[in-house]
Amino acid sequence: MRRQFKPEHTKPRDFDLFWQETLSKLEKVDPDPIIAGVEHSPNHPELVLEYVEFVSLDDVRITGLLTHWKDDLPRPLVVYSHGYGSQCMPQWSWVSFGLNCFGVDIRGFGRSHDALREYSHWGWVLTGIQAPETSVIRGAVCDYIQGARVAEQLLPNPTTHHTYQGVSFAGALALKSASVLGSPDLLAVGVPTFGWTEGRYIFVKSGSGAQINHYLANHPERLDDVMLVMRYFDPVNFADGVHCPALIGLGLKDDVVPAKTVYAIANHLVGKKEIMEFPVSHTDLPEERLWDRFEQYWLTLTIEGISEGFGSKPLHFD
């Protein structure tokens, strides 16, 4: 059965130490947030969008989008990011339900494009692939974590609880941040990428995994080294550090993030979880509209809280 698919851990021996030292280094970085721009919602006069610049690991300046209510009422906070090669969009619709949101443009992408000082011509994911300490993915996780901290610092109202949200590239960042920083109240991720390093090498046909495979086709002598580095960023190896309720979405047909790689992540989570299965993901097919239910569900969980029956059965949507 698909849901019992659980490859063995390939966690490096110093994995936990590596991330402890990374977090310790990040904690020494003053985020020094600056409001670089402000927009107001034409439909909700009490909603505001602030473009926030802040400092992350390696002293690079990252841009985030803080969309929030201009009041002092306690509200949930949703931290999110974007897809591979994309950028964050303001989430006015989420905030209109009574939430505050902070979106992070990761170094090398969107408004944070210039924060990546060197960019591999093989693709973003290969930048700094020589070692885990230099990998761009290390900085990306820190960007997400630092963004969550900055949002708390800047919000005018207290936060009742936290949801880390993301789809694909952002889903992986949300999960890894939840594990490294300490679990939020809810993790809601769809098709998190980078899962099961060895499996991606076999199954992935597009996206960041295809970039890695293309690089290795030209540098086969680096296979073992690249696989080792990527294990420091494999969500499978972070999953047992996520103790909060987790909502996982996947597409049964997906050439970018194959279902097997998502099951490999989900089946190592230690807290309560639900898996929402959809026919497809990362496609242009009309069945993609079913993913609206994933968004509706995690928003409901964020607003109303986790029910006692959460985690009982996987959910199928045909």
Residue 238 to residue 259: CA distance in whole angstroms: 18
Residue 291 to residue 317: CA distance in whole angstroms: 9
Residue 76 to residue 127: CA distance in whole angstroms: 35
How many Cα atoms occupy the beta-carbon half-sphere of 158 within 13 Å? 2
Residue 92 to residue 74: CA distance in whole angstroms: 18
* Cα distance between the two ends of the chain: 18
Annotated binding-site members for substrate: 84
CA 79 to chain centre: 9
Strands (E) across 26-167 are located at 34-40, 47-55, 61-69, 75-80, 100-105, 159-167
Annotated binding-site members: 84
The residues near 275 (Cβ < 8 Å, ≥ 6 apart) are 3, 248, 249, 250, 263, 266, 314, 315
Element (DSSP H or E) covering residue 186: strand 186-190
Beta pairing class for 186-190 and 246-253: parallel
Alpha helix stretches (DSSP H) within the chain: 15-27, 92-95, 136-154, 169-181, 197-203, 207-218, 223-231, 235-238, 259-266, 292-304
CA distances from 317 to 2, 153, 198, 293, 295 (A): 16, 39, 28, 9, 13
Whether the Cβ atoms of residue 147 and residue 286 lie closer than 8 Å to each other: no
